């Protein structure tokens, strides 16, 4: 399957999943398109659309926790940032994602 078709499938599939989790796609179309393309390439190489912004460790169980959309595995962290680690998805209530920033998980209060 060509990259554009696979990206479109990811887009439709991911939209449904993240909607139920209270997230939406980042409105920055260029960034979204770039990240989805990376995920298609990663899936081709590694068999699953692992996160383009996090290292693949080779430990399948660990890596599956960073398979997109990985929000359920990092809920507290991402809810605190109001975005996923890559910024591909943001909280539905965010209107200006340029104000968001990555915050290390270690800095998220208990
Ligand atoms: S951080 Fe975002 S882009 Fe990366 S796998 Fe998780 S949900 Fe997908």
CA of 86 to the centre of ligand 1 (A): 6
What structural domains does the chain harbor? 3-107 (3.90.460.10)
pLDDT tier at 25, thresholds 50, 70, 90:
very high
Say how far apart CA 62 and CA 56 lie, in whole Å: 9
Say how far residue 51 (Cα) sits from the centre of its chain.
6
Say how far apart CA 2 and CA 50 lie, in whole Å: 18
- In terms of phi and psi (left: phi > 0; alpha: psi -120 to 50; beta: otherwise), the region of 21 is alpha
Q: Residue 26: CB within 6 Å of ligand 1?
A: no
Percent of the chain scoring above 70 in pLDDT: 100
pLDDT in the model for residue 27: 97
pLDDT digits (tens, 9 = 90+) for 75-90: 999 999 999 999 999 9
Helix (H, G, I), strand (E, B) or coil at 67: strand
Q: Which atom of ligand 1 is nearest to the CA of 78?
A: 1
| Global confidence as pTM | 0.96
Mutate to test the pocket of ligand 1, among 36, 68, 91 (most ligand atoms within 8 A of CB): 68
């Amino acid at each position: 399957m060509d990259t554009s078709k696979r990206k479109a499938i990811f887009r439709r599939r991911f939209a449904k999943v993240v909607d139920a989790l209270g997230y939406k796609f980042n409105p920055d179309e260029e960034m979204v398109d770039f990240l989805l393309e990376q995920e298609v390439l990663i899936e081709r190489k590694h068999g699953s659309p692992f996160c383009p912004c996090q290292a693949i460790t080779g430990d399948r169980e660990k890596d599956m926790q960073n398979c997109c959309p990985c929000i359920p595995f990092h809920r507290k962290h991402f809810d605190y940032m109001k975005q996923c680690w890559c910024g591909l998805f943001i909280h539905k209530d965010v209107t200006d994602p340029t104000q968001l920033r990555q915050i290390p998980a270690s800095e998220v209060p208990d």
